[in-house]
Amino acid sequence: GFAVARQSHNRQLGGAVLAAVGVACTTRWQKSSGSARAGALLGTYLVAFGASHPLAKKIGAWPAVAAVSAATAAASMAVGK
């Protein structure tokens, strides 16, 4: 989502990509791990998105995106079956 927003100069388009990926991930998590785990991982995804903004002010935009993406991936691997 961030890359799309940055390249297109359209924050709404980046948000749409972020939402579409969130839906796709949640659907996959639900199928593989059940609704409760999917909900927890969706929460992680949303918290990571929120955390990326203040983190970007400290370490830069792309490092923040990489850090929260890695944390979300690690949570997905740990919680998923």
Could you give the CA distance from residue 44 to residue 18 in angstroms, rounded to a whole number?
Answer: 14
Could you give the CA distance from residue 5 to residue 13 in angstroms, rounded to a whole number?
Answer: 6
Could you give the CA distance from residue 48 to residue 68 in angstroms, rounded to a whole number?
Answer: 5
Tell the burial category of 17 from Cβ atoms under 10 Å away from its Cβ (0-12, 13-18, 19+).
middle
Q: Is the pLDDT of residue 4 over 80?
A: yes
Report pLDDT digits (tens) over 29-76.
Answer: 999 999 999 999 999 999 999 999 999 999 999 999 999 999 999 998
**Total of domains in the chain:** 1
Report pLDDT digits (tens) over 11-34.
Answer: 999 999 999 999 999 999 999 999
Segments forming the whole domain that contains residue 20: 2-79
